[in-house]
Amino acid sequence: MSGTIGNKIKMSIFGQSHANAIGVVIDGLEAGLKIDEEQLQNFLDRRSPGKDEFSTIRKEPDKVEFLSGLVNGKTCGAPICAIIKNTNVKKNDYKNFENIPRPGHADFTSFIKFGESMDKSGGAQFSGRMTAPMCIAGGIAMQQLKILGIDIIARIDEIAGVKGASMFNKITEAKKEGDSVGGVIKCEITGMPKGIGDALFGGIEGRISQSIFGIPAVKGIEFGSGFEGSQKRGSCNNDDFIAVDDEIKTVTNNHGGILGGISSGMPIVFRVAFKPTPSISRLQRSVNLKTNECVDIEINGRHDPCIVPRAVPVVEAMAAFAIYDMICE
């Protein structure tokens, strides 16, 4: 099922951007885990739209409501079901291009797969809004990892190929021109115990990648020295081992904390590439799917000129979920 991920702990995302609600069912969590709802809400607020000049003007509180699975702030062994009501739905924004697929979005492939039955408003189950329930499950996983001494921190590394403070100018420039930009988020997992993961298909890279590729607009991921490492010699890319106070570490961390799919105890480091937001107000070419007529399209709905700032907690959430699931296994 497309909305379900996890081995020992299963996260199932449901809803559409313009349905009554979006939400998540989390199955397999041990009973008695304390969940700090206020902290979880604060985590979700980092992803919420409408907070800054870079994000969509779709303002929604994204208030999490637990329907089941929690008793007095602790898991009770029953599956958790949590929802977020969609309170700011403007279906009319999408009326003009109901049969005209937005370039770069999932409208065309959704139509090919689901035909006239597809939900035509707001990106439906392909919308960036589906990352809110990811943050519920991932936020809960993060709280449990923190207790185990594992911290996950992501940050913006690049926007439109630029690093440093001036990268935000790239978003402002694109917005002014009715355009959008992409970027890269870097994530670090510290406090990771040695020996988690497995060879081949059970490797940490594969498990994190599967989680991360569930985030809409993700187009690439690299671990440790990644693509740059492929240009180096082994003598530069290998990380020498040293013993410090009886603990074996590596001098450098080109391996990004993973060797043979298994954690080495060094920080797990990976970078995620996001494409530019598909919906832009500049004129683009498309085709009316009913008449096959070529048409011009201008998208004047509510859209982020850059997805990257809002995606930072989502990367943390999906990484946390993958790691917590592996640890619970």
Ligand X SMILES: Cc1cc2nc3c(=O)[nH]c(=O)nc-3n(C[C@H](O)[C@H](O)[C@H](O)COP(=O)(O)O)c2cc1C
Closest CA to 132 of 3, 300, 13, 253: 13
Q: Is the CB of 23 or the CB of 123 nearer to ligand X?
A: 123
Minimum CB–partner distance for residue 34 and ligand X (Å): 28
Tell me which residue has tokens 């080109």: 254
Minimum CB–partner distance for residue 123 and ligand X (Å): 5
Minimum CB–partner distance for residue 127 and ligand X (Å): 5
Q: Which residue is nearest to ligand X (CB)?
A: 128
30, 42, 65, 139, 227 from 62: Cα distances, Å? 26, 10, 9, 14, 37
Distance CA 267, CA 192 (A): 7
Tell me which residue has tokens 């937005």: 102
The half-sphere exposure of 52 on its side-chain side, counting CA atoms within 13 A, is 15
Q: Is the CB of 197 or the CB of 301 nearer to ligand X?
A: 301
Minimum CB–partner distance for residue 163 and ligand X (Å): 21
Longest pairwise C-alpha distance within the chain: 72
Q: Which two tokens stand for residue 322?
A: 């993958």
Q: Which pairing describes strands 241-244 and 247-250: parallel, antiparallel, or unpaired?
A: antiparallel
Q: Is the CB of 19 or the CB of 266 nearer to ligand X?
A: 19
Minimum CB–partner distance for residue 304 and ligand X (Å): 5
Distance CA 90, CA 109 (A): 23
Q: Is the CB of 144 or the CB of 180 nearer to ligand X?
A: 180
Minimum CB–partner distance for residue 272 and ligand X (Å): 10
Instruction: Tell which phi-psi region holds residue 115, choosing left (phi > 0), alpha (psi between -120 and 50) or beta.
Output: left
Beta-strand (E) ranges in the chain?
Answer: 4-5, 10-15, 21-27, 64-68, 70-71, 74-75, 80-85, 151-159, 183-190, 218-223, 241-244, 247-250, 258-259, 262-263, 268-274, 284-287, 294-297
Report the interface residues with ligand X, using CB under 6 A: 56, 105-106, 123, 126-128, 131, 215-217, 275, 277-279, 303-304, 307, 310-311, 314
Q: Is the CB of 70 or the CB of 160 nearer to ligand X?
A: 160
Distance CA 11, CA 24 (A): 7
Q: Is the CB of 97 or the CB of 324 nearer to ligand X?
A: 97
Q: Is the CB of 107 or the CB of 188 nearer to ligand X?
A: 107
Q: Which two tokens stand for residue 222?
A: 């690299």
Q: Is the CB of 214 or the CB of 257 nearer to ligand X?
A: 214
Helix (H, G, I), strand (E, B) or coil at 260: coil
Minimum CB–partner distance for residue 128 and ligand X (Å): 2
Minimum CB–partner distance for residue 311 and ligand X (Å): 5
